[in-house]
Amino acid sequence: MMGLISTLFYVAVILGFMILIHEFGHYAVAKLLGVRVEVFSIGFGKRLFGFRRGETDYRIAAIPLGGYVKMSGENPMDERTGDPREFLSHPRWHRFLIAIAGPSMNILLAIGLLTGVYMVHYEYPAVLDEPAVIGYVVDDTPAQKAGIQAGDRIVRIEGIQNPTWEQVVPREALSPNQPLSITIERGGQRFDKTIVPEAFGPNQMGSTGWTPKEPNFAITELEPGMPAAKAGLKVGDEIVSVDGQPMAGLEAMVETLKRTKNKPIEIVVRRQGQLKTFTLQPVLSEGNGLSEKRYRVGIASEMTKVTTLPFTAALRRSVQQNKEGSLLILELVRKMIERKISIRSIEGPIGIGRATGQAAKRKGWTPLLELTSMISLNLGIFNLLPIPILDGGVIMLLFVEGLMRRDISLPIKERIYQAAFVFLVLFAVMVIYNDLVKTWPAIMQRLP
């Protein structure tokens, strides 16, 4: 119960802060350009409390699903008085700056947060910046069916030459049931392959069945009360073999446990240069964030690199990360429109809450700040989509009016906004429904 309360608290703080930043962007530019701001609201619906300063009512409203800035004469259906401080009395380039200010603040927040994190604690999976060398191929998967073998190096994927795993992983995830063109290098020879990742997991993202070759397969976390901890394994132990078979990584061990089930296994580890042997009996468990039960021994292996970056390097890295993230978001939207990827890949409020809870459990503040940066970037990009009501829709209509050299008639604008409102409501219902569908199996498994 306390975990749920703390998660809800962190979600409220994160989303509230991002909404505040977004709306402050609109507010600040509107005030700067001389537009009268009547309401600055966090939340929608009935006003709960707040205060009035000057001509603006600053309020907290009942429905905490966003926020808004109400500017004088902003609604096209409102009666125009000709007051020069009304929103529609200002030139289009003023309205454009006001509209784009909100998403821009979210994107700048994402860049700023990551810059700060990287200056204090830049941690990332060690394998991400390694060449894309395959360490293990799961049986009966697209990778195996395409003839991919352990030790193969991906030297081209979708036009990217000599990619790292940081470039390969998102292309794989965003190509469920879609052909992926790759070139592999094996024994000095190159082979062109076409592989079709399977839609996998609750989010229906693409999975080929290969895993990266890791620098070493060492234990980074032990679950209390699980077989590995009880047998005496320690964090830092490097796993050499399981039942006499060399292990290329955690995925290889997972596949081994699928075959052996609850039979005792013999694990050989290297500890401080010496080999030690342990006998463990796997148990059927759904712990460690899994949505279904499987045979486990209670270890995690995620080798990371940790460093700090000076300001200029941190800023450069943050800009690059956010640029790549923005392009991946746009690619995801494009593929959803083309029906090449499931809408289930989108995380709604329940998914955000789950991710927030997991980040809050990790050591330090940097995981939460990184998650906040990612959500802020998503919010900024989403608001720039050319959907009326959203900021991107306002910008699109301004662009159309600029080409027409006259305003769109009020009845047409009213119909456009009504249709957009219905679309956004249906979209929100669909996202929440998908969240519930993805969460329900895990809830049912926990019931007695």
Distance of CA 195 to the CA centre of its chain: 25
SS (H, E, C) 245-274: EECCCHHHHHHHHHHHCCCCEEEEEEECCE
In Å, what is the CA distance from 418 to each residue of 76, 411, 424?
Answer: 12, 11, 10
SS3 state of residue 391: helix
The answer to whether the CB of 109 falls within 8 A of the CB of 373 is yes
Distance of CA 289 to the CA centre of its chain: 16
Point out the catalytic residue in the list 23, 172, 214, 251: 23
The answer to whether the CB of 199 falls within 8 A of the CB of 205 is yes
Residue 23 is a catalytic residue: yes
Structure tokens at 349: 């409020």
Residue 44: which of 428, 430, 433, 441 has the closest Cα? 428
Q: β-pairing, 294-296 with 299-300? A: unpaired
> What is the side-by-side order of every strand in the sheet holding 153-157?
160-161, 153-157, 180-186, 189-195
End-to-end CA distance of the chain: 18
Structure tokens at 387: 């959907």
Query: Rounded distance, CA 413 to CA 396, Å?
Result: 12
Residue 98: which of 20, 18, 17, 23 has the closest Cα? 23
Residues identified as active-site: 23
